[in-house]
Amino acid sequence: MFAYVVRRVLATIPVMAVVALFVFSLLYISPGDPAAVIAGDQATPADVERIRASLGLDRPYLVRFGAWVWDILRGDLGTSIFTNLPVATMIAQRIEPTLSLMVVTLLLAISVAVPMGVVAAWKQGTLIDRAVMAFAVLGFSVPVFVVGYLLAYFFALEWDLLPVQGYTPFARGFWPWLENLILPAIALGSVYIALIARITRATMLEVLQQDYIRTAKAKGVGQSGMLFLHALKNAAVPIVTVIGIGIALLIGGAVVTESVFAIPGLGRLTVDAILRRDYPVIQGVVLLFSFVYVLVNLAIDLVYTLFDPRIRY
């Protein structure tokens, strides 16, 4: 197992290298000029050229790529063109809100969606099953920002129960931290709940047809024990896979949710950087996201062994 983990971690290096080359090249050929944005309307073309030179943007592709890779190898993600702050500092400032949003969303989604899917499978064809499926269709169909605005309207504006925007760091207390995350997590989690509930239901329906379930029933195992201990554990592998894929979806969804609820996370940092053409920040964030994604995949592979003893690495 240890050797497998080491092998997989080492395998991330070529993946990251390809991502780095791809991201850098894509930004190099994409239109946009940060020097023109910085200089503003008053600047002459000569001013823009001088700013471009001072930022090193006039250097050839290979020189710029080489300098960036050399910095990365030394653990330096570079400096933001606009803020003059280290990219690592900017990412560090933004990582807690995004991580918090993702954790709360995941916990909410799993704790709501898995029981929903199990119950829907157990009560297949009943009103409960149809209601769960209807909710799932709705969750898929309604965009995250629409859910966000509706939640903000009712829970913040109409009933004044929760704040409409912002983020409070965990260090300032559990409730202030959670209070700001409830609405965004529900909005972001709605798609995720729908996805996991559907997969759970489908997998459970398949498992519930298996012989060993019939045997368990014949032996007199209770309903909840049969569903959650015998059936769900065997249905877990596809569900865990979907949760893993969902984390990638969360990264994308967080961009919208962070904008609607004014959460200062990595999603907004990425969008702002793209709109301004802040190349070092875009490169740093994309590298981080790809690294996280590789690690999540590894973690999912390892979690399989907990649910299915036949899987060995």
Residues that bind other proteins (CB under 8 A): 31-34, 36-45, 47-48, 50-51, 54, 80, 82-85, 90, 93-94, 149, 152-153, 156-157, 159-167, 259-262, 264, 268-269, 272, 274-277
> 1, exposed or middle or buried, with CB in 10 Å at 0-12, 13-18, 19+?
exposed
Give me 271's structure tokens.
């969008």
Q: Find all residues with CB under 8 Å of 247, minimum gap 6, and list them.
A: 102, 106, 293, 296
**Alpha-carbon distance values, 146 to 151, 186, 192, 256, 272 (Å):** 9, 12, 15, 10, 22
Rounded to the nearest 5°, which phi and psi values hold at 158? Answer: -80, -50
Q: How far is the CB of 42 from other proteins (least distance, A)?
A: 5
Determine the Cα–Cα distance for residues 298 and 308; give it in Å rounded to an integer. 16
Nearer to other proteins (CB atom), residue 22 or residue 154: 154
Q: In 3-state terms, what secondary structure has residue 112? A: helix
Q: How far is the CB of 308 from other proteins (least distance, A)?
A: 43
Determine the Cα–Cα distance for residues 229 and 225; give it in Å rounded to an integer. 5
Nearer to other proteins (CB atom), residue 3 or residue 171: 171
Decide if 117 contacts 197 (C-beta within 8 A).
Answer: yes
Nearer to other proteins (CB atom), residue 20 or residue 90: 90
Other CB atoms within 10 A of residue 297 CB: 17
Q: How far is the CB of 171 from other proteins (least distance, A)?
A: 14
Nearer to other proteins (CB atom), residue 78 or residue 264: 264
**Alpha-carbon distance values, 176 to 162, 168, 179 (Å):** 10, 6, 5
Q: How far is the CB of 94 from other proteins (least distance, A)?
A: 7
Q: How far is the CB of 153 from other proteins (least distance, A)?
A: 8
Q: How far is the CB of 283 from other proteins (least distance, A)?
A: 16
Axis crossing angle, helix 87-122 with helix 182-208, rounded to the nearest 10: 40
Nearer to other proteins (CB atom), residue 40 or residue 220: 40
Decide if 15 contacts 21 (C-beta within 8 A).
Answer: no
Q: How far is the CB of 12 from other proteins (least distance, A)?
A: 28
Nearer to other proteins (CB atom), residue 94 or residue 198: 94
